[in-house]
Amino acid sequence: MVQPNSGTDIVCLIGPTGVGKTALVNHLKQNFLVNYGKEMDTDRGFLPIVAFEVPTSGEKRFSWRMFYSEWGSAFSEPLMDQKQETIIEEGRIKIRRVENGTTVAAMRNAIVGTLIARKTIVVVMDEANHIFCTMKGPMLNTAVHALKSFANMTGITLILVGSYDLYPIVALSGQISRRSAIVHFKRYEIGNIQEEGQFAGMLNKLQEFLPIEDRPDLMPYSRNLHLASAGCVGILKTILARALNSALEAGSWKECHLESALLSEGQLEKILEEILEGEINISKNVYGFSSFNKINDMTQNITREVNRRGPEATR
């Protein structure tokens, strides 16, 4: 899906908070660098993958200047604040000189040029929600098309990583939907025997890294911790880190340290609400979970609904 000419310009990697999305991004980056190691040795300018976290300025509007600056830093592209804008007037190429800092257009052009020069295949944007959280309507549509144009101009695949409120951007238009895909990074579900076993295996592995002399056996707490972390490994790691800190301060491990490290009822309730709502909303949009029968049924239902409304309703 992320290889050239795969038919997908934008991949949305979506999952709940604390599920391990950032860790997966780091793993993906390392895999790319290993797989393309020989090509990188041959061509020292070749950079197959770039990953960075989308910045937020705390302002009402998203800062494209900060965004392109962070992207440039991920490339180690120098002087992003001094880029000159190239324009064409009457068939001639002209340079708009920098006076009071570079323009956003010049920074964007620099990114496009760098993507082409370095033959980049994949760009991963972690916390991509920051781009869209302040946008609605036409502004949101424009932002998505602005990102998609990078893929059109350079052939890269964009991976947008974020929580469940990222998924609606794929449904903004048919053009975006056709060239996009949603990958759901799920939590470990309670009630699923296989996933409960996988969570227990993860807990067993994590407890081996607790740097205390009398290391406790946390396996009897596996189901309780599964519930307390909403099945998200990142939340589990936070709980264990807090418990470890309390144990180190006290000088020994006690069960009370584990309980005192749990999220509050309010925190866990909010996380669970977001997860359950997100899982319901995303269920029909996940890549690879359709079938010919489902598509046939959906097409017939849509056709019947449009025919029922009549031509006036579709204008």
DSSP reduced 3-state for 95:
strand
* Shared-domain flag, residues 26 and 154: yes
Instruction: Give the CATH number, domain containing residue 66.
Output: 3.40.50
* Shared-domain flag, residues 137 and 234: no
Give the structural domain span for 219: 193-272
* Shared-domain flag, residues 26 and 139: yes
For 62, phi then psi, to 5°, come to -70, 135
* Shared-domain flag, residues 164 and 41: yes
Question: Looking up tokens 């309670």, which residue turns up?
Answer: 190
Name beta bridge partners: 123: 50, 158
* Shared-domain flag, residues 55 and 158: yes
The answer to whether residue 94 sits within a structural domain is yes
The answer to whether residue 290 sits within a structural domain is no
Question: Looking up tokens 């040795």, which residue turns up?
Answer: 41
Alpha-carbon distance of 39 to 30, in angstroms, equals 15
* Shared-domain flag, residues 214 and 179: no
- What would the pLDDT profile of 130-167 be if each residue is shown by its tens digit? 888 877 777 888 888 888 888 888 889 999 999 988 87
The answer to whether residue 286 sits within a structural domain is no
Contacts 24+ apart (CB under 8 A), 38-45: 43/119, 45/117, 45/118, 45/119
3-state DSSP helix/strand/coil % of the chain, to nearest 5: 55, 10, 35
- What would the pLDDT profile of 158-209 be if each residue is shown by its tens digit? 999 999 888 777 766 666 667 778 888 899 998 899 999 999 999 999 999 8
* Shared-domain flag, residues 121 and 201: no
Which of residues 184, 218, 243 is at a domain's end? 184
Average confidence score pLDDT of the chain? 81
The answer to whether residue 301 sits within a structural domain is no
* Shared-domain flag, residues 75 and 218: no
- What would the pLDDT profile of 207-260 be if each residue is shown by its tens digit? 998 888 788 899 999 999 999 999 999 999 999 999 999 998 888 888 899 999
Q: Say what the pTM is.
A: 0.79
* Shared-domain flag, residues 110 and 209: no
Q: Please, are residues 112 and 153 in contact by the beta-carbon 8 Å criterion?
A: yes
* Shared-domain flag, residues 156 and 249: no
Helices (H), 8-136: 21-35, 37-42, 64-75, 104-117, 129-132
* Shared-domain flag, residues 14 and 130: yes
Residue 53, C-beta contacts closer than 8 angstroms, at least 6 positions apart: 70, 125, 126, 127
